[in-house]
Amino acid sequence: MTIEKTLNGSELTVCLTGRLDTTTAPQLEAELKHSISGIEKLVLDFKALEYLSSAGLRVLLAAQKVMNKQGEMVIHNVNDTIAEIFEVTGFSEILTVK
């Protein structure tokens, strides 16, 4: 998985490419921990994300909890497979997906 970050004032956009799974989730978790301090809007772009596992969901939930306290988190460009994962797990009720 590759992670591309773009900072625009207090808005951070994170583009993920590849698979967010048990192997790569710690990488995203570390990047977010170092990057979201002071961020008011976190945008996750899943346009090139192919797969999402439960380990990835855990990282998204942790990021959502932090962003609930300091701003908002939005997920863009979710493909049908990942949208279905969000629906089945109930994450579509927790996360803002556009």
pLDDT tens-digit profile of 20-76? Answer: 999 999 999 999 999 999 999 999 999 999 999 999 999 999 999 999 999 999 999
Concatenate the DSSP letters of all residues of 28-69 into one string. Answer: HHHHHHHH-TT-SEEEEEEEEEEEE-HHHHHHHHHHHHHHHH
Q: What is the pLDDT of residues 16-29, one digit of tens each?
A: 999 999 999 999 99
Question: Which residues touch 5 (CB under 8 Å, ≥6 apart)?
Answer: 12, 13, 14, 15, 31, 35
The pTM of the full predicted model, rounded to 2 decimals, is: 0.96
